[in-house]
Amino acid sequence: MIAEAAVARAAGLIRAGRLVAFPTETVYGLGADATDDRAVAAVFEAKGRPRFNPLIVHVADREAAEALAVFDDRARRLAGRFWPGPLTLALPRAPDCPVSWLASAGLDTLALRWPAHPLAEALIRVAGRPLVGPSANRSGRLSPTRAAHAAAELGRSAAMVLDGGPCRLGLESTVVGLGAGAAVLLRPGALDAEAVEAEIGPLAEPRLAADDAPRPAPGMLLRHYAPDSPLRMEACATRPGEAMLGFGAVAGDLNLSPSADLAEAAGNLFAMLRRLDGRGGIAVASIPERGLGRAINDRLRRAARG
Ligand code: TXA
Ligand code: MG
């Protein structure tokens, strides 16, 4: 009941062109009406996000998705298998797609996702609009996995933070590009890329664009997902002033997963980095480069580039 009232209020704000932070199974998003140019512009403004970095558009059913973008066989297969869930598909825009061109940042593709979270789905349905939903942090910083983290990051720009408790997965969605050519892994994420490959075959690595060209996906921005403190990977022990983030048998001030469970580690990653931030530095234990470990290491590598 309480959630229903909160969703109704949030949906009203979205329809009025305001910004609402909302929970998903991956991380909190900063939601706005994707068809409203001014609301989408306000999202870029609030995040301090470069205009060349396109936004993901969130929907709550297949029909809505297929009205916005062109689905080929591979896209239908992946959506059928993994939606709702932590998979984003970058697809050619449909001819009459009503989504603001600002959201695509000059690309002729649109990134679409159906999040597996009851509050996110209810918000999209009640608002009756597709929602842009970048992670609800200032550009380049740690993604929020708790309502309080979203409020701390963007509380001043968001008219409301819809509280869904801690995010179940804690790591952003996997982004797959399905343009004319081979399918491309644009961002490793909470859905294991091997599960995608089992459905549609091998994924290509993205080509890095020249500096002044629009990035194929700025999940490719080098410095991103970063705490304020410098971060060091593959650490066995701390240096003076550092806090240690452990994994498995490598102990620390905090441990991503004492039992070396990669899903648990993904869920803890951003919240624990936030807790250790502000010290002289953060040393992170080595994480195996397999399964979800690939996505975790992707975030850590970018955070480490200070
Ligand atoms: O799990 C998630 O995906 C979260 C939750 C809130 O849904 N959202 C999220 O959004 O991580 P954001 O904006 O922080 O990251 C979106 C990623 C960026 O790497 C962006 O470059 C890429 O998706 N992207 C968006 N549109 C694209 C497009 N048309 N083509 C290629 N990449 C795109
Ligand atoms: Mg983000």
Angle among Cα 117, 121, 125 to the nearest 5 degrees reads 175
Whether 84 lines ligand 1, by a CB cut-off of 6 Å, is no
> pLDDT per residue over 225-261, tens digit each?
788 899 999 999 999 999 999 999 999 999 999 999 9
pLDDT, average across residues 41-70? 96
Inter-residue contact 123 to 5 (CB < 8 Å): no
> How sure is the predictor about 220, in pLDDT bands with cuts at 50, 70 and 90?
low
> pLDDT per residue over 93-126, tens digit each?
999 999 999 999 989 999 999 999 999 999 999 9
Q: Where are the alpha helices (DSSP H) in 89-130?
A: 101-104, 118-127
Torsion of CA 160, 164, 168, 171, to 10 degrees: 0
> How sure is the predictor about 212, in pLDDT bands with cuts at 50, 70 and 90?
very low
What is the per-residue burial (b if ≥16 Cβ within 10 Å, else e) of 30-50?
Answer: bbbbbbbeebbebbbebbebe
Distance 46 CA to ligand 2 centre (A): 13
Whether 115 lines ligand 1, by a CB cut-off of 6 Å, is yes
Whether 59 lines ligand 1, by a CB cut-off of 6 Å, is no
Structure confidence at residue 217 (pLDDT): 55
* Residue nearest atom 15 in ligand 1 by C-alpha distance: 134
Whether 172 lines ligand 1, by a CB cut-off of 6 Å, is yes
pLDDT, average across residues 170-188? 94
Inter-residue contact 123 to 58 (CB < 8 Å): no
Given a cut of 90, is residue 206 above it in pLDDT? Answer: no
**Residue that wins the pLDDT comparison between 137 and 279:** 137
Distance 249 CA to ligand 1 centre (A): 33
Whether 170 lines ligand 1, by a CB cut-off of 6 Å, is no
Given a cut of 60, is residue 218 above it in pLDDT? Answer: no
Give me the percent of the chain exceeding a pLDDT of 90: 86
> How sure is the predictor about 4, in pLDDT bands with cuts at 50, 70 and 90?
very high
Structure confidence at residue 190 (pLDDT): 97
DSSP characters for 2-58?
HHHHHHHHHHHHHHTT--EEE--SSS-EEEEETT-HHHHHHHHHHHT--TTS--EEE
Q: Which of 24, 83, 88 to mutate to test the pocket of ligand 1 (most atoms within 8 A of CB)?
A: 88
Structure confidence at residue 163 (pLDDT): 97
In angstroms, the Cα distances linking 304 to 3, 219, 234, 301 are 38, 15, 11, 5
What is the per-residue burial (b if ≥16 Cβ within 10 Å, else e) of 100-132?
Answer: bebbbbebebbbbbbbbbebbbbbbebbebbbb
